[in-house]
Chains A and B, each alone.
Chain A
């Protein structure tokens, strides 16, 4: 477990971007060597060019590693200063291999 570079993020609040361009947030509770992820209290953030960010509650999610693009720890101080309802952006594009 300690050899995985993702393990430093365990139990932290993270944001995950997937192959299809979706953005998930949640607490990282499990990982493995293929980047399978367990996200507790998982929410999806839907970005749109003409509306603020919409958040959907999913609960406990397992994301299969092959669909993971990026996992990042959320800076909670910055997060508090951000008004998601005022953020306008096109969704992230799907992955093209």
Chain B
């Protein structure tokens, strides 16, 4: 559940979610659940010319299992703290 907690701290931030079908979608993180399903508002394709398929969407629910990467704003993450936390034993969180 650790990365679930990390994503919860990023609600409201703008992220890019790259999917396993190469589609990359930018939007504002609205919510995330235990499966790391992600909900975004104000979505747009990173390459709108290639993906007019998603041009008329207001928001998106993205299934956690199809996410390849989530690009996070560097300013929103304390990398030292994150590295520290991921080195802890599971019981110490």
Contact = CB atoms under 8 A, between A and B. Distances in A.
Interface of A: 3-6, 9, 15, 17, 19, 21, 23, 35, 45, 47, 65-66, 68-75, 78-79, 82, 87, 89-90, 92-97
Contact of A70 (B22, B31, B60): B60
B interface, over-half SS: mixed
Contact of B50 (A5, A45, A90, A96): A90
Interface of B: 19-23, 25, 30-33, 37, 39, 43, 50-63, 65-66
Contacts of A75: 56-58
Given A17-B23, A74-B57, 13 more contacts: A5-B61, A15-B56, A15-B57, A19-B66, A69-B19, A73-B58, A74-B56, A78-B55, A89-B52, A89-B53, A92-B23, A92-B53, A95-B21
A63 to B, nearest CB: 11
Contacts of A70: 19, 23, 25, 54, 60-63, 66
Contact of A23 (B22, B53, B62): B53
22 contacts: A5-B30, A5-B31, A5-B61, A15-B53, A17-B23, A19-B66, A35-B63, A45-B53, A47-B53, A70-B54, A72-B54, A72-B57, A72-B59, A73-B58, A73-B59, A82-B56, A89-B53, A92-B53, A93-B21, A94-B21, A95-B20, A95-B66
